[in-house]
Structure 1
Amino acid sequence: MFSWLTRIATACWRPVQRYAHMYKDENVDDPLLWSKDIGRHSVGEYSFAVAQANESIEDHSQVETGRAATFVGVYDGHGGPDASQFVSDHLFLHLIRIARETGTISEDVIKNAFSATEDGFLAHVRRMRQVKPLIAAVGSCCLLGIIWRGALYIANLGDSRAVMGCVGRSNHIVAEQLTLDHNASVEEVRQELRSLHPDDSHIVVLKHGVWRVKGIIQVSRSIGDAYLKRPEFAIDPSVPRFRLPEPLTRPVLSAEPSVIRRVLRPHDKFLILASDGLWEHLSNQEAVEIVHSHPRVGIARRLARMALQEAARKREMRYVDLRRVEKGIRRFFHDDITVIVVFIDHEHLVQSSVDVPEISVRGFVDATGPSEFSVLDGM
């Protein structure tokens, strides 16, 4: 009887083991580190990893693959997970809807998808404010990459970052940053804010050695943060963290993404899209050199671990000790980290049809299902 039950249990466990190996490979020593070590997309392979620091993870992310296109999204929330979760649930679907209506993907299509997502989240805030007043202070940075018809589209709000690994002379790898960090710590961003608000002397304020918009928030563009965009979402002034120097008369944050289109070139080898939790601890060049000098399988997990090791070193502790720190408390040592590495195999760019699974993968939550990207096949 016992051996019979054992055989049944073993048979049931085998597929679970295979699934666990796919997503948790070698991460048993750190339950807050998730990875999909390798997957296929329309013109190559990708690797995906997420490390949790907050009590409720605020980084949401997705990879959508199809035969004709690839979509990658990194959504770094702040103030809670509501906005980043909303973006994960709606931005891609808006993109697909608008692309179907227009018959193409373009910079305008992407901007319209962002606008629809912003409008939808602000409507959600309006509905939820009575039961959850501080949802008006929840927002999300948003970084997406799309590969379609030999071109790369990158759209960005906030300070997540896209970096291309390009092969230069003597086969040396060179980092090319494709996005500007929409962060008040960047002089170009402060100049932009001052030019847009010439009558507001408090549009950027140096507070405790950190530049912040209105002395409150570092990012200058986001989805959400409704109280910094519309007077109707003003937060009770008794909450000092979100108190404005004067009543809001016009938006101080923007939800319009910076969008670029780039024809993929032979020396473009891979793309790293990551939340600022990674870039806080690794430079662009360090990241591309790690990717270039190690196997593809598990490379996103390797980058996340390198960032965690550096976070531990800065606090004069061992990584083995950091990984024992529980979520929530770990936020004092590092932020949530999302990193997706997208390899570009140029021989696939010239093929008319590639056998690629049409799936949707959501970071950290182990959610996998069919993707809507097949609607682009006939465009």
Structure 2
Amino acid sequence: MDKKRSGASGGLLYKIKRAACLDSSSSDTGKGQSKSSSNKVAHGFHLVEGQSGHDMEDYHVAEYRNQKGHVLGLFAIFDGHLGDRVPSYLKDNLFNNILEESNFWKEPEAAIKSAYRSTDKFILENAMQLGPGGSTAVTAIVIDGKDLWVANVGDSRAVVCERGSANQLTVDHEPHSERRRIEKQGGFVTSLPGDVPRVNGQLAVARAFGDQSLKAHLSSEPDVRHVPIDSNIEFVILASDGLWKVMKNEEAVDMVKSIKDPQAAAKRLTTEALARKSKDDISCIVIRFG
């Protein structure tokens, strides 16, 4: 089963829209670069709507901001389930919440974790407007082309190409790996034949934003990683699990290490994931340094 949340609705409406050619936003692509940083940063992205029987639920961020004399590259992929309201909210607000933390410049890791928690609290408190669904997230903040801060909840992943080899920067928060915590909090993990492990038989990740009905057994605490950017760091791939379900880290890195245009690299990866029969939404950002 490809859906992250079992029992997702909207399949019939999705098929009608496909037949009527009303889903013109089935893919999104673009690129850009930091113009004022002494260390060049360039990015490209490509997103493709999946064939799981629901509308596109992935959102991305790829932008640059000048703040307090620094150049920030802000990149993220949000993979929603049970609707797109939560990932849409995250797209517009999560980075603002992180940068508004008073200790961001002195303690980025603490600020990122605090902003993830407060954002999740807001989503839960406003479930009437944002709906019952949730979203995974992988975020990357590049500071002056010199420092990379990566965080994630769920199974969207960041992989860096360092000295020509793949190195996974994020943790896949799968239910079976957090079974002890989930059961201690009163929940359970199902492992049914032909399906992936799920929290309370529903969600295929152990950490996410939102998901009010499961929150007593679901964490929104991110794993955070800092990587100094030097000449050994070539590029980073951020992608939703629509890519990683059908491709290993080293395969992805090897496939695009010779492609200097990050937009072409992102499109190459999503195209290959489709060729490998990935049914989920596929979202990919490639960030190149130097």
Q: Same fold (TM over 0.5)?
A: yes
> Does structure 2 conserve the Cα–Cα contact (< 8 Å) formed by 1:211 and 1:218?
yes
When residues 102 and 165 of structure 1 are mapped into structure 2, their CA distance, relative to the original with a 3 A threshold, is closer
| CA-CA distance at 1:196 after TM superposition | 5.5
Residue 39 of structure 1 pairs with residue 32 of structure 2: yes
Residue 304 of structure 1 pairs with residue 290 of structure 2: no
| CA-CA distance at 1:104 after TM superposition | 4.2
Aligned-CA RMSD value: 2.1
Map of 2:147 onto structure 1: 151
| CA-CA distance at 1:162 after TM superposition | 0.3
**What is the DSSP-based 3-state SS (H/G/I as helix, E as strand, rest coil) of the residue aligned with 1:197?**
helix
Identical amino acids, percent of aligned pairs: 32
**What is the DSSP-based 3-state SS (H/G/I as helix, E as strand, rest coil) of the residue aligned with 1:176?**
strand
Give the aligned residue type for 2:76. G
Deviation per CA, 1:305-328: give whole Å up to 9, x if none: 1111111xxxxxxxxxxxxxxxxx
Give the aligned residue type for 2:273. A
> Does structure 1 conserve the Cα–Cα contact (< 8 Å) formed by 2:149 and 2:224?
yes
Aligned pairs, number:
254
> Does structure 1 conserve the Cα–Cα contact (< 8 Å) formed by 2:98 and 2:104?
no
Map of 2:16 onto structure 1: none
Deviation per CA, 1:193-213: give whole Å up to 9, x if none: 31463485x621212342111
The structure with more strand, counted as a fraction of residues: 2
Q: How many angstroms apart in 2 are the aligned matches of 1:178 and 1:89?
A: 24
What is the TM-score of this pair, normalised by structure 2? 0.81
Report 1:274-313 matches (<5 A).
Answer: 274-296=239-261, 297-311=263-277
> Does structure 1 conserve the Cα–Cα contact (< 8 Å) formed by 2:165 and 2:250?
yes
Map of 2:280 onto structure 1: 335
Q: How many angstroms apart in 2 are the aligned matches of 1:57 and 1:195?
A: 31
Q: How many angstroms apart in 2 are the aligned matches of 1:192 and 1:211?
A: 11
Give the aligned residue type for 2:180. R
Q: How many angstroms apart in 1 are the aligned matches of 2:209 and 2:29?
A: 26
Q: How many angstroms apart in 2 are the aligned matches of 1:289 and 1:191?
A: 28
**What is the DSSP-based 3-state SS (H/G/I as helix, E as strand, rest coil) of the residue aligned with 2:191?**
strand
Give the aligned residue type for 1:60. Y
**What is the DSSP-based 3-state SS (H/G/I as helix, E as strand, rest coil) of the residue aligned with 2:79?**
strand
Q: How many angstroms apart in 2 are the aligned matches of 1:179 and 1:199?
A: 24
When residues 342 and 211 of structure 1 are mapped into structure 2, their CA distance, relative to the original with a 3 A threshold, is same
> Does structure 2 conserve the Cα–Cα contact (< 8 Å) formed by 1:35 and 1:298?
no
When residues 110 and 228 of structure 1 are mapped into structure 2, their CA distance, relative to the original with a 3 A threshold, is same
When residues 213 and 166 of structure 1 are mapped into structure 2, their CA distance, relative to the original with a 3 A threshold, is same
When residues 309 and 213 of structure 1 are mapped into structure 2, their CA distance, relative to the original with a 3 A threshold, is same
Give the aligned residue type for 2:28. W
Of residues 206, 215, 220, the one that matches 2:201 is: 215
The structure with more helix, counted as a fraction of residues: 1
> Rg: which structure is higher?
1
More relative contact order in 1 or in 2 (CA 8 Å, sep 6+)? 1
Q: How many angstroms apart in 2 are the aligned matches of 1:31 and 1:87?
A: 20
| CA-CA distance at 1:103 after TM superposition | 4.7
Give the aligned residue type for 1:75. F
Q: How many angstroms apart in 1 are the aligned matches of 2:185 and 2:74?
A: 40
Q: How many angstroms apart in 2 are the aligned matches of 1:69 and 1:57?
A: 28
| CA-CA distance at 1:293 after TM superposition | 2.2
Of residues 164, 173, 179, the one that matches 2:160 is: 164
Map of 2:65 onto structure 1: 66
Map of 2:134 onto structure 1: 139
Residue 204 of structure 1 pairs with residue 189 of structure 2: yes
When residues 81 and 305 of structure 1 are mapped into structure 2, their CA distance, relative to the original with a 3 A threshold, is same
When residues 52 and 199 of structure 1 are mapped into structure 2, their CA distance, relative to the original with a 3 A threshold, is closer
Residue 48 of structure 1 pairs with residue 55 of structure 2: no
Q: How many angstroms apart in 2 are the aligned matches of 1:283 and 1:102?
A: 33
When residues 31 and 91 of structure 1 are mapped into structure 2, their CA distance, relative to the original with a 3 A threshold, is closer
Deviation per CA, 1:177-231: give whole Å up to 9, x if none: 11111122xxxxx34331463485x6212123421112221100000000112xx
**What is the DSSP-based 3-state SS (H/G/I as helix, E as strand, rest coil) of the residue aligned with 2:90?**
helix
Give the aligned residue type for 1:310. R
Map of 2:231 onto structure 1: 266
| CA-CA distance at 1:95 after TM superposition | 1.5
Map of 1:182 onto structure 2: 173
Which stretches in structure 2 are left out of the alignment for 5+ residues?
1-23
**What is the DSSP-based 3-state SS (H/G/I as helix, E as strand, rest coil) of the residue aligned with 2:285?**
strand
Q: How many angstroms apart in 1 are the aligned matches of 2:96 and 2:190?
A: 37
> Does structure 2 conserve the Cα–Cα contact (< 8 Å) formed by 1:71 and 1:145?
yes
Deviation per CA, 1:43-75: give whole Å up to 9, x if none: 321111100125421001111213512110110
Map of 2:81 onto structure 1: 78
When residues 87 and 148 of structure 1 are mapped into structure 2, their CA distance, relative to the original with a 3 A threshold, is same
Q: How many angstroms apart in 2 are the aligned matches of 1:156 and 1:215?
A: 23
